Structure 1
Amino acid sequence: MYCRNCGKEVAEQAVMCVSCGVPPRSGKKFCQNCGAETNPAAEMCTKCGVRLATAVNPAEQKSKLAAGLLGIFLGWLGIHRFYLGYTSIAVAQLVLGLLGIVTCGITSLASWIWGIVDGILILTGRISTDAKGIPLKE
């Protein structure tokens, strides 16, 4: 991986670039994949074709633990999907859960199983981003 600010190679897990002292994904001058110079407004590197990384604001990151537990305990209502910003899926789970009133709980059971599976997938890291593509924080 390369620093987006100075273009020097950095470790994948690096929090700061040792060359320029800036978080490696916070710059907009170089590609993080190949180190080529990029246009600051570009979304993809013209040399290697990789989507250019942007710095993540920690305040925007959602909690992986909170999302997983919401999925396990309130997943039948789609609460965890609302939390992560997946509103269309959340509405589908909510409708299935509430349809259980009419279907004697059959659709609620399906929605409940779906929520538990989602919660487990979130906690194990299989679902690792929110609807905006921002990684979930540990």
Structure 2
Amino acid sequence: MSHRHDEPLLANPFDPPSIPAAVVPTETPERSSRSRMVAVILGIFLGVLGAHNLYLGYRRNGVAQLLLWGATLLFEGTTLGTLGVLVLIGWVLADLARLVLRSGKFLLDGHGRPLR
């Protein structure tokens, strides 16, 4: 039962943690056929319908925005309808800000490819 003398039996708790080497991709990812600028334009004019999310492949968010828009029409003139409009406008403005600033999920399309 021999132990290597260069390896301690127990790790020293005061040693810095070992950090694995970064994995560098060997090939560049395929670019999306979707354009960030088209998504911004869709967001400005049809954002409340979720068009920008549907265009980029984020179906869940796009359908959720479309359903929220439908609910605001259904409850038009009520407090619930007004709240729905405020939530929807805030959501679309946040999406537009992330699109323009190229941050968050809007760096990639719904399939994980970088936007043009």
Q: Is the shorter-chain TM-score for this pair beyond 0.5, marking a shared fold?
A: yes
Counterpart amino acid of 2:89? W
Partners of 1:72 and 1:118 within 8 A in 2: no
Letter in 1 for 2:25: L
Percent pairwise identity: 32
Q: How does 1:117-128 map to 2 (within 5 A)?
A: 117-126=94-103, 127-128=106-107
1:68–1:122 contact (8 Å) kept in structure 2: yes
What is residue 114 of structure 2 aligned with on the other side? Answer: 135
8 Å CA contact 2:30–2:114 kept in 1: the answer is no
Question: Does the aligned pair in 2 maintain the 1:82–1:90 contact within 8 Å?
Answer: yes
CA RMSD of aligned residues (A): 2.2
Question: Which residue is equivalent to 2:25?
Answer: 52
Name stretches of at least 5 consecutive residues in structure 1 with no aligned partner: 1-46
For residues 89 and 63 of structure 1, the distance between their equivalents in structure 2, rounded to whole angstroms, comes to: 18
2: distance between equivalents of 1:53 and 1:115? 36
TM-score (norm 2): 0.65
The TM-score with structure 1 as length reference comes to 0.56
Identify which of 71, 83, 93 aligns with 1:99.
71
Q: Which amino acid aligns with 1:86?
A: Y
Larger Rg: 2
Where has structure 1 moved over 4 Å in runs of 4 or more? Answer: none
The correspondence for 1:71, drawn from 43, 54, 78, is 43
